[in-house]
Structure 1
Amino acid sequence: MVTTELRFTWNRVLQFNWVFGLILLLAVCVPRFWMVLQANETGDYSSIGIIMTVSALIPFIFLSKEGRREIGIKKPKSKAWILYSFLLGIAISTLLFAVGYLLYTNSMSNWYVYIGKSYHISADLTAQDRLIYFVIFAVTGMCFSPIGEELFFRGIVHASLRASLGENKATLIDSLSFALTHLAHFGFVYLFGRWQFLLVPSLLWVVGMFMTSLVFIQCKKMTGSLLGAIASHAGFNVSMIYFIFYQL
C-alpha cells in the first residue's frame, strides 16, 4: 500500500507503519547507545552531536511535505502552550532533581551528578567563569538534543507507530524507547576505570525518562506542533544544567 507520508522515492520500498518506526529505532538508538557509552569512557562527546544532527535530518530525508506536517512540523495552534510546555519541562526536571538529591545527595548514584561529570566542570571556577560555562552549556542543551530527539522520537517514530498501532501503543513504545536509550547516559556508568550497572538508580532514571517523554508528548498535543515538545525538552535541559552547575 502506497502512503502519502513518505517521499515518492521511499514509497516504492517502505511503508509508513510500525515496521518503519522499528527500523528507525534500531538504526539510530543502537549506535547512539554505543556512542554515548564510548563517550562516557573516553571523554570525547563529538559523536553525540553527529547522531543528534542525523536524528534531526531523518524526517526531511524520508518524509514528504504532507508527512512532515503529519508528524508535527507546522505552526503551533496555541502559542501560549509553547511557554507552558517550557515551564512543564522545567517542572519535570526539577522533580527528577529533587528525587535524585533526596535519595542519593551528591553521590554518583544521583543521575544529575553522573551526567554532570561529563561536563568536566572545574571545582575552582570563579562565579563569572561558571556563568559563562553555564550559558554555553545551556544554549547547546536547549538546541541540539531537543531538536534532534523531538523530530525523531515524538516526530517520525511516534507518527509511524501510530499509523498502524494507534496512539496509545505508539506512546508506550516511543516513551519506552526514549527511556531505555537514556540508560547510556546514566545506569551503565563508567567509574574508577571500570563499568558498573546501578540497578535501583537506573530503574528510577528510566521511570523518570518515561514520564518525561509523556510530558513531551502531551505538550506536542496541546500545541498541535512539535514545537511544544521541543520547548518542553529545552526547558528540561536548561533546568538540569542549572542544577548541575549551581546545586550539586
Structure 2
Amino acid sequence: MLAMLLASAFIAMRVMGTLGPLGLFWMLPLSFCVMAALPWILLSPHGRRNIGLQAPSGKAPYALALICGAAAALLCFALGMLLYGATPDNWFVSIAASFRRTAPTAGLSIWMLHLMITVPACIFSPIGEEIFFRGVLQKALEEKLSVRSSTCVEAGLFGLAHLCHHGLSMTAAGLSLNAASAAVWVTLMFATACLFAWLRRRHASLWPAMAAHAAFNLTMNAVIFQFLWPTLPL
C-alpha cells in the first residue's frame, strides 16, 4: 500500500513539474531524487540488496543493457516518424517541445542545449526511476502478486507516468488528451519498462537497468536534437 501511495505521489509530482507552471518544474528533478533516496530511508542493507542495489557479475550485462536501451529508443523514434512524421502527434516532437519550453535557450548553441539537457536526463531519471519502479515498487508488489503481474503493474504505472510527456497537454481550457497517439506512447513505455525489468531480473541487479535507461535517454535526445529540433517553431 505504501509503495502504491508513493507511486501516486511521484506521478503527481511529475505531472505538476511537466504540465504545471514553469515555477513548479523543480518538482520533476525532486521526485527523481526522492525516488533514489527511498531505499536508504525505508530499507535495511539486506532490503537494498534484495531490490537489486548490488553490482552484477562482470561487464557483459552493461554491454547488453546499452544495446537494449539504445535499440528501444530508436524503435520509438522510427515508429513515431512512420506513424506521425515530425508533427505534434509524434511523442519525440512533444518531448522536444517541452525542452524548448523549459530550457533557457537564449544565447546557447544547439550542442550546448543538447549537453545541458542530456547529462541530467542520463543521471536523474535512470537512477531514480529504476530504483523506485524496478526496485522498491516491483519487490513490494511481489509480496502480493506474481513476478509477471507485478511487472505488468509497475510497467503500467511507468507508462501512465509518461503521459505528461506526450498525450496529456495543458491548454487554456484545462488538460487535453490526444487519445490515439497517447495510447501508442504508453504502450511503448510499458514495453520499455518490461525490458528494463527483464534486465534487472536477468542480472539480479538494478545497475544494468539503469544503464539501459540512460542509453535510451541518450539516444532519444540524440535523435531529437539531430532530426527534430530544427523543425520546431521558435
Q: Does TM, normalized by the shorter one, top 0.5?
A: yes
The worse-fitting range, judged by mean Cα deviation, of 220-229 and 233-242 is 220-229
Tell which structure's C-alpha radius of gyration is larger. 1
Kindly indicate whether residue 31 of structure 2 is the aligned counterpart of residue 21 of structure 1: no
**One-letter amino acid of the structure 1 residue matched with residue 144 of structure 2:** S
**One-letter amino acid of the structure 2 residue matched with residue 32 of structure 1:** R
Distance 1:125 1:51 in 2: 27
Match for residue 91 of structure 1?
71
Match for residue 14 of structure 2?
32
Distance 2:206 2:69 in 1: 14
Match for residue 200 of structure 1?
180
Runs of 4+ that moved beyond 3 A: 190-195
Matched position secondary structure for 2:143 = helix
Distance 2:99 2:154 in 1: 28
CA contact (8 A) 1:78 1:224 kept: no
Distance 1:105 1:43 in 2: 32
Kindly indicate whether residue 126 of structure 2 is the aligned counterpart of residue 133 of structure 1: no
TM, length-normalised to structure 1: 0.84
Alpha-carbon shift at residue 125 of structure 1 (Å): 9.5
Match for residue 201 of structure 2?
221
Alpha-carbon shift at residue 119 of structure 1 (Å): 1.4
Distance 1:136 1:180 in 2: 26
Give CA-to-partner distance per residue, 1:26-65, whole Å, 9 cap, x none. 23223333332215xx476222111111111112110000
Kindly indicate whether residue 233 of structure 2 is the aligned counterpart of residue 247 of structure 1: no
Distance 1:245 1:135 in 2: 10
Kindly indicate whether residue 190 of structure 2 is the aligned counterpart of residue 210 of structure 1: yes
Distance 1:118 1:88 in 2: 25
Distance 1:192 1:164 in 2: 42
Distance 1:149 1:182 in 2: 12
Q: 1:44 to 1:246 in 2, by over 3 A?
A: farther
Match for residue 6 of structure 1?
none
Residue pairs, 1:68-217, within 5 angstroms? 68-120=48-100, 129-190=109-170, 195-217=175-197
Distance 1:34 1:138 in 2: 21
Alpha-carbon shift at residue 106 of structure 1 (Å): 1.1
Q: Which runs of 5+ in 2 are unaligned?
A: 229-234
**One-letter amino acid of the structure 1 residue matched with residue 83 of structure 2:** L
Alpha-carbon shift at residue 219 of structure 1 (Å): 1.4
Alignment length, in residue pairs? 226
Alpha-carbon shift at residue 135 of structure 1 (Å): 2.1
CA contact (8 A) 1:88 1:232 kept: yes
Q: 1:33 to 1:44 in 2, by over 3 A?
A: closer
Aligned residue among 20, 28, 43 for 1:63: 43
TM, length-normalised to structure 2: 0.89
Matched position secondary structure for 1:163 = coil
Distance 2:2 2:138 in 1: 11
CA contact (8 A) 1:82 1:223 kept: no
Distance 2:77 2:208 in 1: 22
